Amino acid sequence: MKMMGEGAWKKTAVAVVALSLAFSVWPSGLVQADKKSELEKKLDDVQKNKAQKEKEIAELKKEIDEHKKKLNSLEEELEKAKSEERKKKEILKEAKKELDKYDDKYKESVRSMYINSGTNQMEVLLKAKSLGEFLARYEVLRLILKQNYDEVKKYYERKDKAEKAEKEVKKARKKVEKKTEKARKEYDKMVDLMEENQDKLSSLEHEEGDYRKELSQLNLEHLKSGSFPYQGPLSRPAGGRVSSGYGYRGSEFHTGIDFANGQGSPIYAAANGRVIRAQSCNCGYGYYIMIDHGGGVFSLYAHMYSWQSQVSVGSVVKKGQRIASIGNNGRSTGPHLHFEVHEGRPGNYVNPYKYMQ
């Protein structure tokens, strides 16, 4: 077998090392890309589940509102029944009061009916001395019996009517209470279901937050590596009023937006990115910071002092992170932030509102 020379061994070794290095770097990028894709899919699934759950909750809210209306209606019926019952009870009370008032008369009528009935009645009639007297006594007895009978009948009619009314009201009230209890149980069931869905929604929101944190961390890793997508829109970089907009001011073209605020007020990164400039210049900016947001979008922050900067070239920043404070350095007539957005490359400024939310 032919042996390889030292030169051949070296060439082979270099090729193997190069190949191994190539494969050691490439899978790492693939793993990160796969992880991001997996996280984005999970986040998308969670958001879909969340949207579905929110839809279900909205439907449940409608159903609960319907049950509330039904319950209110039943409660109104119950109150009406109770009111009617009170009226009937009052009628019964008055009837009993009247019966008590004429109790003696009622007893006398019953006693009279007993005395004037049967053999006693015949005895009274037979003692008549003439036909005329017989007819007269008969008529008197008839009237007495009729009057007594009417009094007794009236007594029982009143009592029966009042007692019947009370029974009817109680029956109606029980029916309404039964309906109310049924509606309340259904309502409680809906509320329990609502709470269960709210718990699930809360769980999905936590899950969504965790995935977003992981994605944010991956995005920061992209920022550090120097290859990352634009993650807009840009947010307002400072508080205070807008003292000057983008465009011509008389004969001079203003290349950004000015935010007037107190000296030392915070300046925030408008989006995720990496600081590519943090320096002073005699161009009128004073000390300024430029951030690369990826996708050919750059932001510039001017007129602060160097000691106010909290970042340096290469710093990775997150949207809303404080990067400096408002100053009055350079060509400035008062404390303010001069904010620019450059498109495609640094120096190609555009209207910042094009990228702002």
- The HSE-up count of residue 78 (CA atoms within 13 Å, CB side) is 15
3-class SS of residue 339: strand
- Along the 357 residues of the chain, how does pLDDT read in single tens digits? 444 444 444 444 444 444 443 334 334 444 555 666 776 676 677 677 777 777 777 777 777 677 667 767 777 777 777 787 777 778 777 766 766 665 555 556 555 555 555 445 555 555 656 666 666 655 555 555 556 556 666 666 666 776 777 787 777 778 778 877 877 777 787 777 777 777 766 777 777 666 666 666 655 565 665 567 888 899 999 999 999 999 998 889 999 999 999 999 999 999 999 999 999 988 899 999 999 999 899 999 999 999 999 999 989 899 999 999 999 999 998 999 999 999 999 999 999 999 997
The architecture in CATH of the region 241-354 reads: Distorted Sandwich (2.70)
In 3D space, the residue among 303, 354, 308 whose CA is nearest the CA of residue 331 turns out to be: 303
Task: State the span(s) of the chain assigned CATH 1.10.287.
Answer: 69-203
* Token pair listed for 348: 């190609």
Any idea which fold 69-203 has?
Helix Hairpins (1.10.287)
Name 350's bridge partners.
341
Task: State the span(s) of the chain assigned CATH 2.70.70.10.
Answer: 241-354
* Per-residue pLDDT at 319: 92
**CA dist 241 → 235, 301, 336 (Å):** 15, 16, 10
